[in-house]
Amino acid sequence: DIQMTQSPSSLSASVGDRVTITCRASQSISSYLNWYQQKPGKAPNLLIYAATSLQSGVPSRFSGSGSGTDFTLTISSLQPEDFASYFCQQSYTTPRAFGPGTKVDIK
C-alpha cells in the first residue's frame, strides 16, 4: 500500500502570508494527488486535483505542484477563511490513502 506523509503537521500564520504545505508519497503516484480543505465540523472540500488543477469555484490563491513522490500546496496570500486543516490524498491506486493533515491556525 502507498503511504502518504505531510509536513508540517501544523503551522501558525498571519493573514496575507504565503503558506506552503508538503506531501510525500512512499512510491511514485505520477500526478494522482489531490488536496482537500476541512473546517471543523464540516466535510472535506476538494481544492486541487491531479496535482495542479484547481477545482471549480476554488480561489486562485490556491495552487498545487509536483509529480512522482513530492507535492506542494501553496496559498499565495492567506485569508481569514483559509484557517483550516489540509489533507493530501493519492488516487493512483487502491487502497486510496490520505496524508495525516496539516492544521493552519492564526498566529
Partner 1 sequence: QVQLQESGPGLVKPSQTLSLTCTVSGGSISSGSYYWSWIRQPAGKGLEWIGRIYTSGSTNYNPSLKSRLTMSVDTSKNQFSVNLSSVTAADTAVYYCASESSTVTGRALDYWGQGTLVTVSS
Q: Which residues contribute to the site for partner 1 (CB under 8 A)?
A: 1, 31-32, 34, 36, 42-46, 49-50, 53, 55, 87, 89, 91, 94-101
71 versus 87: smaller Cβ distance to partner 1: 87
Instruction: State in angstroms the smallest separation of the CB of 105 from partner 1.
Output: 14
DSSP string, 71-103: EEEEESS--GGG-SEEEEEE-SSSSPEE---EE
62 versus 87: smaller Cβ distance to partner 1: 87
Separation CA 26–CA 101 (nearest Å): 16
17 versus 103: smaller Cβ distance to partner 1: 103
Contacts of 45 (CB under 8 A, 6+ apart): 36, 37, 38
Instruction: State in angstroms the smallest separation of the CB of 74 from partner 1.
Output: 18
In the numeric block, which cell numbers belong to residue 90?
A: 493519492
